[in-house]
Structure 1
Amino acid sequence: MNYNGLLCGDSDILLQQLINDGVKVDLVLTDPPYNLNKDFGNDSDKLSLEDFLNISRKRIALCRDMLKLNGSLIWFGIHHYIGFIQSIMYEVGLNYRRMNIWYYENGFSRLTTAPLTQYEPFLWFSKSPKKWTYNVDDVRVPYKSTERLKNPVYYKNSKGERVKWEPNPLGAMRGDVWAFPTLAGKLYQDEKTPHPTQKPESLITEIIKAYCPKNKDGLYEGIILDPFLGSGTLGVCCEKLNKQGHHIQWIGIELEKRWCDIAEERLSNL
């Protein structure tokens, strides 16, 4: 069976099949159901808390078993439950690296009894406690001020030595708050699909650039898995990078035929 590209089926079944067939990946990057009663065409987002945590534990364990030794798991969540998910990842033996925040200012809410939600967390855990991929220079961001680019800064290191720091010409290190707008309004109408929780390509591409392994020529060459592909954003981002000369393999699993069809259409239109 070809495990490169879109697989339309149940990830709870297909993940085990992939494991049985010896498939390993460098990165699991996924945006699973948050259990907020969204309509994905099934009841996957409408579970009791106990059932949600039990099935999340099984899915995270399967993803862990698919990771290569130096692989990482990126798991989107929501503030309601992210603490539970983080605990599960510790329990199954993964190694905490960081909780990142996807921050957006263009969200919308009709609720006036609580603050407007402007973020979604995504966890980063590694398989190994010592080795993982993070391409720091690939995801640098512009300095907020050009003044700091003019002169070096001196500081003392752990040994008490005076050390000169100079700004990196590629920009400042990215922090753990990733600011990307949601797909709201006319500006994103060409990218937006009917999928209720679609993530922007700009965000997913940046995450791929940060966590996908590279070859000796500096090209992305890892294998990436998304067990909840939705409308196909991960595949679209990977293929756009491949058109630039990279060599990313990806596996995307989606349960609902409606979203599989949309994903296939997006991929065919590249």
Structure 2
Amino acid sequence: MQYEFNQVYKEDCDIALPKLVQDGIKFDLILTDPPYNLRKDFGNDSDKLELNDFIEVNKRRLAYCSDLMDKNASIVWFGIHHYIGFIQTMMYELGLSYKRMNIWYYENGFSRTKKTPATQYEPFLWFSKSDKKWTYNADDVRVPYKSADRLKTPVYYKNSKGETKKWVPNPLGALRGDVWSYPTLAGKNAKKERTEHPTQKPISLILDIIKAHCPKNKDGFYEGKILDPFFGSGTLGVCCEILNKEGHNIQWMGFEIEEKWVAITNQRISEVRETLV
């Protein structure tokens, strides 16, 4: 079977990934939100593994992902504080280059128990294939300054030679840090976007991660190949299609084992494609 871009396949990524490796396909970005092993119900037992099984299966998956990364590619992998340390160690062992452990922070988190703090963050790792070159479009994901007055006031400082230099605030905003604040898809405000999927990520979050890590062509348009082995309800595909409607040329591919989520994905993507710009 020859895989094509810009579609999701109902297939287990543990079967699909080695096929992609064999076909010699390379990606500029692997961006994925795999099962966290917290016993969520995705319609199967993929989130209910014993610790040793969880470690072994993810070692295999990450090895395939590493083989699928182009020479300057990045991998962004969502996780949970329970197990993210294992994933980080595996990436180091594969020879990938650590860039950052970012935090998705949300104030509308909650807790089912009073014996532990409420959940308000999820980490996502960023490693690159090369330790010398990678894509990070810093200006595309700048955030507003805390005060608009910052834009009015230059800052003077001394450089290493003792020379006085002037720093002028970037009109696009402040350089983004490693804490990315976006609300979860809870409450009335998220009703239109939310599906039945139990761990669906916000479009706003995934869209910005793509903007940060997708390569651009000489005209400044995103033009890369992106893979999500755990496609879920299709948010990555939705985000890529939103950007493509703006003139970009992102090629994406996803795998999902449950027919229910594949159907929801295809419906969401169709709605984006059919909506007038």
TM-score range, shorter chain: over 0.9
Give the deviation of 1:110 after TM superposition.
Answer: 2.1
TM normalised by structure 2 equals 0.96
- Report the residue type matching 1:60 in the other structure: L
Correspondence for 1:249:
251
Work out the CA distance in 1 between the residues paired with 2:268 and 2:74: 27
Superposed counterparts of 1:1-270, under 5 Å: 1-4=2-5, 5-270=7-272
Give the deviation of 1:12 after TM superposition.
Answer: 0.6
> Kindly, what percent of the aligned residue pairs are identical?
68
- Report the residue type matching 2:134 in the other structure: W
How many residues of Structure 1 are paired with residues of Structure 2 in the alignment?
Answer: 270
Work out the CA distance in 2 between the residues paired with 1:73 and 1:227: 12
Q: Secondary structure at the match of 1:269?
A: helix
Q: Secondary structure at the match of 1:85?
A: helix
**2:142–2:173 CA contact under 8 A, matched in 1:** yes
Give the deviation of 1:31 after TM superposition.
Answer: 0.2
**2:111–2:117 CA contact under 8 A, matched in 1:** no
Give the deviation of 1:8 after TM superposition.
Answer: 1.1
Work out the CA distance in 1 between the residues paired with 2:231 and 2:3: 17
TM normalised by structure 1 equals 0.98
Q: Structure 2, unaligned stretches of length 5 or more? A: 273-277
Give the deviation of 1:3 after TM superposition.
Answer: 2.3
Per-residue CA deviation, residues 149-200 of structure 1 (Å, 9 max, x unaligned), is 2221122334443321110011100110000000001111111111110000
Work out the CA distance in 1 between the residues paired with 2:71 and 2:48: 34
Work out the CA distance in 2 between the residues paired with 1:226 and 1:204: 12
Q: Structure 1, unaligned stretches of length 5 or more? A: none
- Report the residue type matching 2:23 in the other structure: D
